[in-house]
Amino acid sequence: MLINKIYGLLGLGARAGKIVSGMDAVSDDLKRNKIKLLVVAKDASDKTRKNIEYLAERKTVPMIVIGTIFDNSKAIGKENRAVIGVKDKNISDGIKKIYGGEAFGEN
């Protein structure tokens, strides 16, 4: 399943210190232009989703909405994380390729 491949890359990124999670940490790194891709849980609150969409659009960072808070958090070894920011270009490119490059205006 494709989502498992994405979770594998997120887990790899977490172990390598190439991701950040949680609304505050992701927002801070977005403002510093360190985030290459955002992963948002389908069951994130409307407020969280609107806030992160606004920041993503302002900084022109691609965003995907997949999985649940529980599953996404489990993939990175944390608890209760609705928002994940990928800081590594290679991991970001890998996730975008799995998710579908056409969704990001590529390929």
Q: Which residues of 16-48 are buried (b: 16+ CB within 10 A; e: fewer)?
A: eebbbbbbeebbeebeeeebbbbbbbeebeeee
According to CATH, the topology of domain 2-104 is 60s Ribosomal Protein L30; Chain: A; (3.30.1330)
Q: Compute the distance between CA of residue 20 and CA of residue 105 in angstroms, rounded to an integer.
A: 25
pLDDT digits (tens, 9 = 90+) for 53-97: 999 999 999 999 999 999 999 999 999 999 999 999 999 999 999
Model confidence pTM above 0.85? yes
What integer pLDDT is reported at residue 59 of this predicted model?
Answer: 95
What integer pLDDT is reported at residue 4 of this predicted model?
Answer: 93
pLDDT digits (tens, 9 = 90+) for 39-62: 999 999 999 999 999 999 999 999
Per domain, the residue ranges of the chain are 2-104
pLDDT digits (tens, 9 = 90+) for 3-34: 999 999 999 999 999 999 999 999 999 999 99
